[in-house]
Amino acid sequence: MNWKKIFKKISIGLQAILYTGAGVNHFINSNAYIKMIPPYIPLKAEVNILVGIIEIVLGTSLLLLSKKRKLVAIGIILFLIAMIPTHIYHIQMGGNIPGSSFIMPLWAAWVRLALQFVAMAWAWSVRK
């Protein structure tokens, strides 16, 4: 039994579920996500839809495009980099999102930012 292969398949599956689920959630809870978008970003509803679509495409691509997985991993990493300003905005707001019931301790906002880099490494780990 090749544990490394099994672990990689589980890792790919988990990432696919997480990104696809997060993307779908952008449509289910769009108002919450729109409020999380920093005020300097225009067209919030459209951005929310775009982000949801990107997450769904990236998540499903991990499973469906095994021969292009390195490109998918790069896409995930670029996507996560693009999300960093939102995490910084949450930190600047002390973990609170104005006009929203989305509240977290400031330390949790910092952890969410740090997890972006963990997620990037995780995406890169399944590139082959």
pLDDT of residue 33: 86
0.85 exceeded by pTM: yes
Exposure on the CB side of residue 15, measured as CA atoms within 13 A? 28
Q: Which two tokens stand for residue 21?
A: 């689920």
pLDDT of residue 85: 92
The per-residue pLDDT of the chain, averaged, comes to 91
The contacts found for 118-125 with CB under 8 angstroms, 24 or more apart, are 119/76, 119/80, 120/76, 120/77, 120/80, 120/81, 122/11, 122/15, 123/15, 123/73, 123/76, 123/77, 123/80, 124/73, 124/77, 125/11
Give per-residue pLDDT as tens, 52-73: 999 999 999 998 888 899 999 9
Whether the pLDDT of residue 127 is over 90: the answer is no
Q: Which two tokens stand for residue 80?
A: 């996560």
Confidence of residue 27 (pLDDT cuts 50, 70, 90): very high
